[in-house]
Amino acid sequence: MRGLTKLGVLSLGLAAFLQPACSGDDEQASQGGGDRLVCEGVNTVSAESRLLTRLQYDNTIRDLIGLDLRLAEGAFPLENTAKGFSNNARAHQASPLGVEKYLEAAESISAELSSDQLGALVPCDVASADEACAARFVTDFGKRAFRRPLTEDEAAGLLKVFKDTAPKYGAEEGLRLVFQTFLQSPQFLYRPESISVATSETGAVQLGSYEMAARLSYFLWNSIPDDSLFTAADNDELRTAEQIEHQARRMLEDPRARAVVLDFNRQWLGLDRLTNVVREETPGVDSGMTFDSMQLPSAWTESLERFLGEVVFDGEGSVHDLFTSPVVYVDAELAKLYGVDAPAEGFARVELDAKQRAGLLTQPAMLAMFSHPDQSAPIKRGVFIREQVLCQPIDPPPPSVDQTPPDPDPNLTTRERFAEHTSIPGCHDCHKKIDGIGFGFENYDQLGRFRADEFGIPIDASGEVLEATEERLNGKFDGAVELSNRLADSAQVEDCIATQWYRYATGRVENDADGCSLQQVQDAFQASGGRFKELLVAITLSDAFRYRRPGSQDGAQ
């Protein structure tokens, strides 16, 4: 997206009324090595209504009714993803199966609510609720369910359910059916972007305070606004950057923000791939270790999630820590593999040898995930770093290529076998960008263990970064620790992480119109020294988060 120069020029025609200015300037180069955009005024992007993800649905129910039922996670269809993210506005859509599940869930949740619990949501005795009481329930509960006050028509439609059913089935059942209607209404299931009129001054629509409250709460908590946000919205106090920043910083201290970071990381790193991986000893290798390979995937997942929680939330919370921390969390099973004392129960935080472990890329879970069942996978590791850490996508190999990993051979190291495989003319052009990175991780086997040799042959973990956008990343290195330290202070890596977060926050893969907002976010992230909380705050303050392009509707009222 740094190559926006030409596109910026293209948009100039519209700039007069949509976009004050967003054009590129070839002369300036950012630290990340790309072109900088010259941005003025408010830079708006069209925003699309977004359907709640399963996680958001479950969190929303929890915060709305106080019961943590988590019905959606296992029952609703998986969201369609875009660039690995499940909250993409275009990809994640309703389906006939999903619509059945919304009905089922609304009924189940209603059934889970005891009369007393329902009573807590209703401003009168549920058994003898009259129409006036039901109307207040619609107004009060509705404001939290729809994240804004209901319109008169909306309230009337919901109250009608009570009026139609309470005489037949009793007041309590009438209220329950209103409740079920809320849970299947689009104002609940979606985060709608209303059409509204742009100010003539900026050509942009600034989000109203209720909309901003919901944007903040679904970005930083994956759930509905809390009382404090609602109060701020009631007073229209989510308009200025100061007001928004104040709320964002408050919200980041809440455990719900931790869960969001976890959700992001799962998708950015593709952690679902760890589920049920099978990792075994290489044939012919007797490590003398016994382990239960069925237990490893969940242990690795938890170990990595604990690590990520620590480096993002505790201490400095920076990219530097993410790529340098030697901390690994182990349970009894993992402790055996990594040669540390087993904790009495659960997981223990240990610091491994800093000469062998440096941050995310040397986390056992990551190394195991990017492996084959019985050997390491230097190519998978290289591709992952290129695509997800450096944001430099690699084309897949041509179809005629045999992609079968070569079988382990006691006379050759993994590197020798794979190098043979990829040194073929024609393959080399791409593979030098992949293998130069991936071979640097040969000190780690498919179980994430450090190794100094294979079959008695010393490991060669030398590597070379080629064709990174940021010049200082390029060059030779020896081993993953040295590479990680180089990446830990990289503007390109920070920009890439900021881009991934921006996709998650906006529910979009960035397009031309996002260029200036994304640049705002990347600049702020770099200025903060790569601190994650600052990155998240910067996103809430970006133009793309606070404004939208005015939508159009044929025959709109």
Partner 1 sequence: MTRDEKDIAARKAAAGRSHDFTSRKRATLRRRGFLKGAGGLALGLPLLHSLEVEADTPPPIKRLVLMYNPNGTIEDAFWPTSGGETDFVLGEMLSPLEAWRDKLLLTRGIDLKVTSTGPGGPHQRGIGGLFTGKELQKGEFADGCGSLAGWANGQSVDQAYVDHLGVVTAIPSLELGIRATAAEVRSRIVYGAPGSPLPPTNDPHQVWSRLFSGIAGDPDTRLVQFDKRKSVLDAVQGQFALLNRRVSNEDRQKLEAHAEMVRELEQRLQLAANAGGGGAGSDACAKPPDPGVLAVDDENEMPRVSQFQLELLAMAFRCDLTRVASLQFSTAINDIRFPWLNSMGQGHSLSHAGTSDPDAREQLVKRGKWFSEQLAYLMSMLDAIPEGDGTVLDNTIIVWCSEVSAGNTHSHNEMPFLIAGGGAGRLKMGRYLQYDGVAHNKLLVSILNALDVPVDSFGHVDFNSGPLSGLEA
Q: Which of residues 193-212 bind partner 1 (CB under 8 A)?
A: 193-195
Is 94 a residue that touches partner 1 (CB under 8 A)? yes
Is 15 a residue that touches partner 1 (CB under 8 A)? no
Nearer to partner 1, 64 or 537 (CB): 64
* Of residues 355-394, those binding partner 1 (CB under 8 A): 372-373, 387, 393
Strands 475-478 and 462-465: antiparallel
Is 406 a residue that touches partner 1 (CB under 8 A)? no
- Cβ atoms < 10 Å from Cβ of 533: 18
Stretch that binds partner 1, among 45-53, 206-214, 437-445, 452-460 (CB under 8 A): 45-53
Chain center to CA of 94: 21
CB 502 within 8 A of CB 42: no
Instruction: Write each residue from 496 to 515 as x if it is in contact with partner 1 (CB under 8 A), else as -, in one continuous string.
Output: -------------x------
Q: How far apart are CA 322 and CA 488, in angstroms?
A: 7
Chain center to CA of 538: 16
Nearer to partner 1, 17 or 242 (CB): 17
* Of residues 304-333, those binding partner 1 (CB under 8 A): none
Q: How far apart are CA 348 and CA 342, in angstroms?
A: 8
> In degrees to the nearest 10, what's the CA dihedral of 383, 385, 389, 391?
-30
The partner residues of 465 in beta bridges, in order of sequence, read 475
Among 12, 99, 111, 289, contact with partner 1 (rule: CB under 8 A): 99
CB 254 within 8 A of CB 224: no
Stretch that binds partner 1, among 20-28, 43-51, 52-60, 528-536 (CB under 8 A): 43-51
Q: How far apart are CA 40 and CA 25, in angstroms?
A: 13
Among 404, 425, 452, 458, contact with partner 1 (rule: CB under 8 A): 404
Strands 348-351 and 327-330: antiparallel
Is 402 a residue that touches partner 1 (CB under 8 A)? yes
- Cβ atoms < 10 Å from Cβ of 120: 12
Q: Which residues contact 327 (CB under 8 A, 6 or more apart)?
A: 307, 310, 311, 349, 350, 351, 352
Stretch that binds partner 1, among 11-19, 192-200, 330-338, 477-485 (CB under 8 A): 192-200
Is 285 a residue that touches partner 1 (CB under 8 A)? no
DSSP states of 202-250 as a string?
Answer: TSSEEPPHHHHHHHHHHHHTSS---HHHHHHHHTT---SHHHHHHHHHH
- Residue 36, Ramachandran bin (φ over 0: left; ψ between -120 and 50: alpha; else beta): beta
Among 4, 55, 106, 205, contact with partner 1 (rule: CB under 8 A): 106
Is 153 a residue that touches partner 1 (CB under 8 A)? yes
CB 539 within 8 A of CB 502: yes
Nearer to partner 1, 402 or 429 (CB): 402
Among 80, 114, 231, 235, contact with partner 1 (rule: CB under 8 A): 80
Among 139, 187, 202, 293, contact with partner 1 (rule: CB under 8 A): 187
Is 424 a residue that touches partner 1 (CB under 8 A)? no
Is 429 a residue that touches partner 1 (CB under 8 A)? no
Q: How far is the CB of 434 from partner 1 (least distance, A)?
A: 15
Is 552 a residue that touches partner 1 (CB under 8 A)? yes
Is 186 a residue that touches partner 1 (CB under 8 A)? yes
Q: How far is the CB of 481 from partner 1 (least distance, A)?
A: 28
Among 245, 272, 310, 482, contact with partner 1 (rule: CB under 8 A): 272
- Cβ atoms < 10 Å from Cβ of 134: 24
Q: How far is the CB of 327 from partner 1 (least distance, A)?
A: 29
Strands 205-206 and 547-548: antiparallel
Is 53 a residue that touches partner 1 (CB under 8 A)? no
Count of residues touching partner 1 (by CB under 8 A): 75
Is 157 a residue that touches partner 1 (CB under 8 A)? yes
* The token pair that represents 207 in the structure block: 């989000």
In the chain, what's the furthest Cα-to-Cα distance? 83
Nearer to partner 1, 330 or 377 (CB): 377
Q: How far is the CB of 477 from partner 1 (least distance, A)?
A: 27
- Provide the 8-state DSSP code for 375: E
Is 12 a residue that touches partner 1 (CB under 8 A)? no
Is 79 a residue that touches partner 1 (CB under 8 A)? yes
Q: How far is the CB of 195 from partner 1 (least distance, A)?
A: 5
Nearer to partner 1, 32 or 98 (CB): 98
CB 220 within 8 A of CB 260: yes
Is 69 a residue that touches partner 1 (CB under 8 A)? no
Q: How far apart are CA 468 and CA 433, in angstroms?
A: 9
